[in-house]
Amino acid sequence: MTPGLLGGITLLAALIFSVLGLVMGILAHTLRDGRYLEAAKRLAALTLLAALLSFGSLEWAILTNDFSVSYVAGHSSANNPLWVKLVTPWAALEGSILLWAMLQAAYTWLVSLRVGHSLDLWRAPAALGTLFAVQVFFFAVMVFVAHPFDAVSNPPPDGQGTNPLLQNHWMMAVHPVLMYLGFVGLSVPFAYAVAAMVAQRYQSWIFETRWWTLVAWGFLTAAIFTGKWWSYEILGWGGYWAWDPVENASIIPWLLATAFLHTAQVQERKGLFKGWNFAFITLAFAATVFGTFLTRSGVIQSVHAFASGPVGAWFLVFLLGVMAVGLGLLARVSSEIREAGEVRWRSREGALLAGALFFGTFAFVVVLGTLWPLLVEALSGAKVSVGAPFFNQVSIPLGVFMLLLMGIGPVLPWRHTNAEVVRNLSAMLVALGVGTLIGFGLGLTLGVSLAIGLFAYNLTAVGLMVAQGVRERARSLGMPAGQALLELAASHKRRFGSHIVHLGIALAALAIAFSQTYRVTEQKTLQVGEVWQTRGMEVRLLSIGAREEANRFAAVAPIEVRSISREGWGSDGRYQTRLNFYPQMGSPLATPVVKYSLYNDFYFVLMQFDQDKGQWATLKIIVTPMVGWLWVAGLIIVLGTVYILWPSPARVASRQMSPTAGD
Amino acid sequence: MKPKYLIGLTVVAGALAYLIFGGLGQNLVYFITPSEYYQQIDRYQSRTVRLGGLVKPGTLDYNPQTLELRFVVTDGVKDVPVRSSGATPPALFGENRGVVVEGRFQGEAFVSQNLLVKHSETYQAPKEGWTPDEVRKLIEGTQ
């Protein structure tokens, strides 16, 4: 048995199991027979097994350099280091769809384990059926148009190699997997929403769906932040976000899932916003397919785009199908889920809905900006692109409003405002004013000063809320404040976790404001031994040399940096700036060296060097303040999410008692 | 819904629409080839455009002292000389390769602030005798 054969057979098996699972789901739903549901559960496990075997075969083929397998011949090389080989399955189209389908099978299997527990028998057939339908799509794409295991009749002695940009940093092993876990994870909330609408049970789905959405959201957040960091570490431009279509593709589902996470709380608590929740979750899942369609179809060009092919049309049809099912069902049930009460804007629910609408609007703007070039081309035939300035211009005011709402929302009570709330809001506004004025006092720009003010404002909001809870508990139970805080944090995980996440977001906004405003770039050509004084540093070019490595060849220019004034603090050290040459590329790939410090990041890039005599090298230095805190903020957000999700006896008990006790 | 909310909503929607469509109008960057430029020179003068083509062999010149990168972008029919101030990583950039430069025409030359290159997963071997159509196709895959 060759890996190619095993992979192809198991792939076909996975497709067949998924089709059977879909049929069983439909039978279980229409005939109301539990035996079909049992069969669907077994098929979920079988599909996962087949998908794991298929993925394993691809790894096997890559590790054993089996170039008779098309994917390996096209995207791997015998010279690649082991870790590159291990991550090669998701370095190109077919393999990444295989990873996607495998993760989809894993999620479906996890959902099948919930049947009979939290997923009741009325909703389970539709939920599993939806997931099987999604799975059928992915396996069918591979079997019919993007087969990773096609046989190569004359196997070449070596493959064409892996995209150098992808093997230049270990993040390749982390970021794509996180992104797929997030994207695929959103299929589960979608399946639950479809099941709720099909089974006409509009309330019970929300509790577990919120949990699944948070899982996917956590992965998406982690993926977005690691992607930013990767782009920062490797691309040599000193930035981390360019509003590239693929970056947009990751932020659109994130925004819509965020909107859902906020309105879902209102439904949990008061049974409102059912329609919004169905809509947000459908659109969030559709957005993941939309993103894949954009980048895999060749309609929109992007740095992440794989070669175009027939896959695009498949994804377009699938996207339309998802939208039609989700929104069609919503239209059908809309009269049954009409809101019972009116929304009170000056309460928690009002702030949550306003926040969700901002997230939805933001998502809409990003979609519009991403698709605008297509519209212009269709209408006038001109090729245009929408630049990053457009997105920045729109996202700054939207971001400011969201940061304002983020502070207000949790402070507002579910019922009417009272004196204490007014006092808290006044304190927050004072913090906003003082923070902004301090920024101005330090001579910072309006935007950055406002970011400082908003950070202080959100810090105050969280501080006041925590302090208030601790004070009340300490007083009523007569315990020290520290113990009260620990007990509250353990018993109100959702509330404390969301505080942590909100603080992370506020910190991220601060880091973005500083780094985008005060980034400076310096460039100079240095002779070997020459010293360059710039931005509080003394930079000496030590030598220029060459280095031979297994999969590449590198030009290395070591430099020595000493700080000579406050601006250069933290930059000291010896750094190996380098240009990597990969055999499959005609030109070198810059590999920046980044020195992190508490305030400034120092970014050294070798741009050019004297190829004849090795006497000079052109260096670029980028100094960016606070960008390191962006990664810290990402970590805080993910840790806050994990804190909410972390199972605890208290949480399980509270979920069973009442839907609102976890608040 | 109460009328005051309706008014508030209209104001917010109006501001947003202004922000979006005003912003879109100002930030559209046209994507042209050298031949298209010579057909409508006036239209593209002193506004930001993206010029796409191939780096003409033998024209790439880097001055280490001024950090200026000079090359000629061609679509097989027309050539445009480009000056780039070098604030660009050299990844995937080279002679006979597809390139997109973002910048403005200043007289005869194109002054680029930003050099975009194709991050393709497969290396496209250079070939002789490009036609504008092929170049168009190539640069549409380049950003």
How high is the pLDDT of residue A93? 85
| Strand partners of residue A573 | A561
Chain A window 532-551: which residues touch B at a Cβ cutoff of 8 Å?
Answer: none
Would you call B91 and A586 a contact, using CB atoms and an 8 Å cutoff?
A: no
C-beta separation of B90 from A588 below 8 A:
yes
End-to-end CA distance of chain B: 47
Would you call A393 and B31 a contact, using CB atoms and an 8 Å cutoff?
A: no
How high is the pLDDT of residue B123? 39
Would you call B92 and A608 a contact, using CB atoms and an 8 Å cutoff?
A: no
CA distance A502 to A165: 34
Domains and CATH numbers, chain A: 1-162 (1.20.120), 164-392 (no CATH), 393-517+630-653 (no CATH), 520-628 (2.60.98)
Beta carbons within 10 angstroms of residue B57's beta carbon: 14
> Which of A495, A431, A419 has its CA nearest to residue A458?
A431
> Which of A188, A202, A39, A8 has its CA nearest to residue A110?
A188
Pairing mode, strands B49-55 and B28-32: parallel
C-beta separation of A25 from A129 below 8 A:
yes
Residues contacting A492, CB < 8 A, separation 6+: A469, A662, A663
> Which of A536, A537, A559 has its CA nearest to residue A607?
A559
Per the model's pLDDT, the better-predicted residue between A128 and B60 turns out to be A128
CA distance B120 to B114: 18
How high is the pLDDT of residue A651? 46
pLDDT band at B124 (very low <50, low <70, confident <90, very high): very low
- Residue A157's identity, in one-letter code, is P
* Cβ contacts of A588 on chain B, cutoff 8 Å: 90-91
3-state helix, strand, coil in chain A (%, to 5): 65, 10, 25
Structure tokens at A641: 């999410």
User: ipTM of this model?
Assistant: 0.77
Q: Which helix (H) or strand (E) holds B105?
A: strand B98-106
pLDDT band at B139 (very low <50, low <70, confident <90, very high): low
* Cβ contacts of B119 on chain A, cutoff 8 Å: 163, 165, 303-304
C-beta separation of A383 from B140 below 8 A:
yes
Would you call B89 and A237 a contact, using CB atoms and an 8 Å cutoff?
A: yes
C-beta separation of A411 from A464 below 8 A:
yes
Counts of helices then strands in chain B (DSSP H, E): 4, 7
* Cβ contacts of B30 on chain A, cutoff 8 Å: 382-384
Chain A window 569-608: which residues touch B at a Cβ cutoff of 8 Å?
Answer: 579, 584-590, 605, 607-608
How high is the pLDDT of residue A132? 97
In angstroms, what CA-CA distances link A260 with A11, A352, A400, A453?
A: 34, 10, 20, 28
Would you call A390 and B24 a contact, using CB atoms and an 8 Å cutoff?
A: yes
pLDDT beneath 50: ranges in chain A: 303-306, 651-663
Would you call A585 and B87 a contact, using CB atoms and an 8 Å cutoff?
A: no
C-beta separation of A405 from A355 below 8 A:
yes
Per the model's pLDDT, the better-predicted residue between A139 and B90 turns out to be A139
How high is the pLDDT of residue B87? 52
Counts of helices then strands in chain A (DSSP H, E): 21, 11
| Strand partners of residue A384 | B30
> Which of B51, B117, B54 has its CA nearest to residue B90?
B117
N residues, chain A:
663
**What does the pLDDT average to over B64-82?**
86
- Residue A302's identity, in one-letter code, is S
Nearest C-alpha of chain B: how many angstroms from A306?
A: 7
pLDDT band at B14 (very low <50, low <70, confident <90, very high): confident
Q: How far is CA A545 from its chain centroid?
A: 39
Residues contacting A351, CB < 8 A, separation 6+: A345, A405, A408, A409, A412
Residues contacting A5, CB < 8 A, separation 6+: A149
